[in-house]
Structure 1
Amino acid sequence: MNLNCLIIDDEPWALDLMEDFIRKMPNLRLVGRCEGPMAAMPYFEKEEIDLVFLDIRMPDLSGIQFLKILPKKPAVIFVTAYHEFAVEGYELDAIDYLLKPVPFDRFVAAVNKASEYIGYRKNKSPQRKDDFLFIKTAHKIQKLFYHDIIYLEGLKDYTRIHLADSKKPVVTLQSLKYYETRLPNEDFIRIHRSYIVSLRKVDTVSRKTVFLGETELPCSEHYKDLLYNIIGEKL
């Protein structure tokens, strides 16, 4: 999935750095670089912008003020020298918050988060034909309804599927990655390299933990922001 992206920053060196990083990423298409929010407005009228790398402290209009007035909000990664704006940035559902000067590995990690989130939003379908899937177990093929699945647990080359009406999980010889691509991503989300959960079954989310009834599962740093952004859309 290729993403149309825009850089908004009042510092030429920061624009140059972000442009260089973007051109190294095969899934990013740079639509434009703007030395301030007002210069960016025409791009939103002409094209669909998927992702914005947005500075915060700029003359006339801050990045946060700019984001608040946009009628159709893209995914945003804040890029700034001022860490004190981080809390407000996350309250606006920013995908990530990068401190200048930005290391390339942090940039790549932020883009990967954004790609996952944008993929989730674009792949949501208003109508779903099926509400079940068939899985292969050791001796049979079994039908599972999505609403019965609480969570999936990946264990090397096989997966345990924990169900609402059974104390014993179903074991299938497919990887967790396989089910990540098969399950509808408007209902299921990966929260850890070992776990996918049903959003319908999530009761409480804390900083590093997801609770599904009496079950407590870890939520890793890599997937946390995506989970919070999806929950934010449902508030």
Structure 2
Amino acid sequence: MTHRSDWESVTTGDMKNSYEQSLDDSNTDLEISSSHFNQSFFNRAASYRKYPRGWLAPAIVVLLIVTFVILAILTGILFSHYSTMVEELTVLKKNDLKKDVSDLWQSVGNIMGDLSKIKTKVDTTEGNCTSCPARWKLIRSHCYYFQSQQPKSWEGAREDCATRNGILVVMKNLFEMNALLPTIGRERYWLGLKRDSENTDRWIWADGSSLTFEAWNEGEPNNDKDNEHCAEIMGGLQLWNDRTCDHRISYICKGVWTC
């Protein structure tokens, strides 16, 4: 007959042995699982280390191609915009140049018109001619009448010039005077120049214009005895002199008509 204490002892011993066996089995399984996990991890890691060597180079190539395509597209867009801007600037410059040329030609036309008007006025007022009436002499596109056969006073000469549709000669500049000197020679001729009756220091031409050019002899005009109010040109000296208006000398008329 088995006693209770023996049974308990046997049971306790068996349970202990069973627990220890289970614990050993668990450790064994854990070691096996751990070994299997480590082997699997290292296998996967090795495969990951080997795998990039196959796809990295193609990926880089693809990336470079995509980048090149994008840059090419952007370059094409920029070049297109640049070409458009250049064309627009060229058109603007051409339009501005055409406008400037048009304005220039318009200005030239206006100037030519003004010159034509001035020429017409000069021809009308100063008798710019290409031919002259009988006994008139053409000198530098003006007609002059030299009267030396019938000397007159200054006033008589002025009146005779008026009847011939001219004025007692008015010399506007040195060029005109020099052009007349060869015909004047050594004679004395009245000029259409007289003192202003209200201001004896002022000289006025027969056409009413003021004196802007003069060629007086040295010491002239001296208004000797306060009686020399008219001007003459002395051919020998080729200079001017003031003298009494009543003296009778030769004179020169200048045509005022339009030929």
* TM-score using structure 1 length: 0.21
TM-score by length of 2: 0.20
